[in-house]
Amino acid sequence: MSLTTLATQVLNGVSFGGLLFLVSSGFTLIFGLLRVVNLAHGALYLVGAYVGIATYTATSSFVLGAAAAAGSVALLGIGLERTVLRRVRGRELSEVLLTVGVSLVLADLCLALFGGDPKQVDVPSALAGSVTLGGFAYPRYRLFVAALAIALAVVLYVLTQRTKLGATIRAGVDDREIANALGVDISRVFTGVFAFGAALAGLAGFIGGGMLAILPGADVDILLLALVVVIVGGLGSVKGAAIGSLLIGLIDAFSKAWIPDLAYFTVFAPMALLLLLRPSGLFGKAA
């Protein structure tokens, strides 16, 4: 393998890992606070992609498309949390099954509204084309996705570790009963975090549409990878989601280049191995 191919595969892995981080960070944030494994997260990704593409097509503004994707799915998340999930809070099986049901409904609604043909985001000219890096060309958009993920990681770190809001969220994770009994409205924090996590999924759908095809089934594919990421990184840990995304992105890129027939095996085998050795993931807290 030449140095150029190696560098290309590394960048493929990093940029795909970046997209995975956009999806899995929201997933893991929601789990960390609400203890809900939101299996509708993939469907939120798909809704965001379709809404974003429709807005982008109508307005020719990429930024508006991204804003519509994140905003609409945030609202959807608020509705979901306040009307559906709140009724079964604390009943794990009901919560998980409800999110599965919601994801099926959303996926079917998408099929009815937006059809079954694959769609893509035609990236704006500022992000299109390729950049020449030390003698080889690499798609500019993929670098943009990687940069966006890094920026998000920094924002999330500062938000959770350096702000009062972040401390409040962590207090809710530590002991929500006592936080409530000291006058902190944890249920409002819950809704806010759910909306934020959902917005990230919606944004990821639209951004991902510039790299991957958006079509029925894309929700399940991305959900599966996000699950692998958070299982590897440790459920509830944003740091784990970042490392896990990078790891799975790289594994995916190299295995597709070297042994494409085993693409799924190479992603799931390390996860299975890790589950045997460290059941709570790289950065997860033991239950």
Partner 1 sequence: MLSVTDLHVAYGGAGVLRGASLEVREGETLGLLGRNGMGKTTLVKAICGLRPPTIGSGSIRLDGVETTGWSSLAIARRGVGLVPQGRRVFGSLTVEENLRVVARSSADGRLPAWDVPAVYDFFPRLAERRRQASRVLSGGEQQMLAIGRALVTNPHLLVMDEPTEGLAPAVVDLIADRLRELCRVGIAVLLTEQNVDLALEVSDRIAVLGDAGTVAWQGTAAQLRADPVPLHEHLGV
Per DSSP, what are the bridge partners of residue 139? 130
CA angle 19, 25, 26 (to 5 degrees): 105
CA angle 117, 70, 139 (to 5 degrees): 65
Please, what is the minimum distance in Å from the beta carbon of residue 64 to partner 1?
36
Question: Running DSSP on this structure, what letter comes out for residue 285?
Answer: P
- Sequence-separated (6 or more) residues with CB below 8 Å from residue 184: 168, 171, 172
Question: Running DSSP on this structure, what letter comes out for residue 119?
Answer: B
Please, what is the minimum distance in Å from the beta carbon of residue 173 to partner 1?
7
By beta-carbon proximity to partner 1, the closer residue of 172 and 209 is 172
Please, what is the minimum distance in Å from the beta carbon of residue 175 to partner 1?
5
Asked whether the beta carbons of 141 and 127 are under 8 A apart, the reply is yes
Helix H segments across 115-185? 140-162, 164-174, 176-181
By beta-carbon proximity to partner 1, the closer residue of 177 and 261 is 177
Site string for partner 1, 130-169 (x = CB under 8 A): ----------------------------------x--xx-
Q: Which of residues 204-233 bind partner 1 (CB under 8 A)?
A: none
Please, what is the minimum distance in Å from the beta carbon of residue 89 to partner 1?
13
Please, what is the minimum distance in Å from the beta carbon of residue 285 to partner 1?
10
By beta-carbon proximity to partner 1, the closer residue of 119 and 170 is 170
Please, what is the minimum distance in Å from the beta carbon of residue 229 to partner 1?
22
- Sequence-separated (6 or more) residues with CB below 8 Å from residue 141: 123, 127, 128, 210, 211
Candidates 6-14, 20-28, 172-180, 198-206; binding stretch for partner 1 (CB under 8 A): 172-180
Q: Is residue 68 left, alpha or beta, with left meaning phi > 0 and alpha meaning psi from -120 to 50?
A: alpha
Q: In terms of Cα–Cα distance, which of 18, 17, 38 is closest to 195?
A: 38
By beta-carbon proximity to partner 1, the closer residue of 175 and 221 is 175
By beta-carbon proximity to partner 1, the closer residue of 120 and 168 is 168
Kindly state whether residue 174 participates in binding partner 1, applying the rule CB under 8 A: yes
By beta-carbon proximity to partner 1, the closer residue of 162 and 273 is 162
- Which residue in 140, 170, 239, 256 binds partner 1 (CB under 8 A)? 170
Q: Which of residues 176-195 bind partner 1 (CB under 8 A)?
A: 177-186
Q: Is residue 61 left, alpha or beta, with left meaning phi > 0 and alpha meaning psi from -120 to 50?
A: beta
Please, what is the minimum distance in Å from the beta carbon of residue 170 to partner 1?
5
Positions in the binding site for partner 1 (CB under 8 A): 164, 167-168, 170-171, 173-175, 177-186
